[in-house]
């Protein structure tokens, strides 16, 4: 039996320069959501909640079928603590490397297993950075006095290719760097 676990590492990339400068403010009201409320330098902070992606235990041989699994990844944004502030956060969640044919390594023997991540249950749309035929996960959170913290969850689908060269049992690890690019804008 082999155990497959994929660790999702992540990096945050806020686009403050586009969202928090005076040009992002609404003319006439200070840009914060109500008369006289200014948009703070950082109207919202966001983070990724990435699971360990576990493909479970299975035998791998030249005739083995693919191993499918799924997990949920989420984005949580918290609005700046300023009453009357309305913030819309548009984000994009990328999986790197962007190209298909990712690999897991055996911690002991140095073997390789091909796997990939997808944004659809049919496993036809590769999760990546939006280039080379890959797709990103996008979303929008609206934060205000009633919803100061918001979370959106997204399913991720994985597949370890079947029919790979027979390998020794053991723990196999791979890593996907997850980049969150977000743009909070005051309304």
- The SS3 assignment for 102 reads strand
Rounded to a whole number, what is the distance in angstroms from the first to the last CA of the chain? Answer: 54
Hey, what are 32's tokens?
Answer: 């914060």
Structural domain count, the chain: 1
pLDDT higher than 60, residue 1: no
Whole-model pTM? Answer: 0.79
Q: What is the CATH number of the domain that holds 121?
A: 2.60.40
pLDDT higher than 70, residue 70: yes
Half-sphere exposure of 143 (CA within 13 A, CB side): 28
CB 53 within 8 A of CB 104: no
Give the tens place of pLDDT for each residue, 37-69.
Answer: 789 999 999 999 988 888 888 877 888 899 999
The reported pLDDT for the residue numbered 107 is 74
Which structural domain, as residue segments, surrounds residue 127?
2-186
Place of tokens 């991540």: 117
Write the burial class of residue 159 (CB in 10 Å: 0-12 exposed, 13-18 middle, 19+ buried).
Answer: middle
More confident residue, 121 or 8: 121
pLDDT higher than 80, residue 12: no
């Amino acid at each position: 039996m082999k155990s497959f676990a994929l660790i999702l590492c992540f990096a945050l990339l806020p686009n403050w320069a586009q969202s928090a400068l005076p040009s992002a403010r609404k003319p006439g009201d200070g840009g914060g959501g109500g008369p006289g409320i200014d948009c703070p330098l950082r109207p919202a902070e966001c983070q990724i909640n990435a699971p360990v992606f576990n493909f479970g235990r299975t035998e791998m041989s030249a005739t083995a079928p693919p191993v499918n699994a799924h997990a949920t990844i989420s984005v949580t944004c918290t609005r700046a603590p300023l009453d009357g502030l309305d913030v819309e956060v548009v984000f994009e969640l990328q999986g790197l490397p962007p190209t298909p044919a990712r690999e897991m390594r055996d911690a002991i023997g140095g073997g390789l297993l091909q796997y990939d991540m997808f944004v659809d249950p049919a496993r036809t749309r590769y999760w990546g950075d939006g280039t080379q035929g890959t797709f990103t996960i996008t979303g929008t959170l609206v934060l205000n006095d009633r919803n100061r913290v918001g979370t959106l969850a997204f399913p991720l689908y994985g597949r370890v290719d079947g029919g790979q060269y027979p390998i020794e049992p053991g723990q196999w690890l791979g890593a996907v760097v997850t980049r969150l690019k977000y743009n909070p804008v005051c309304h």
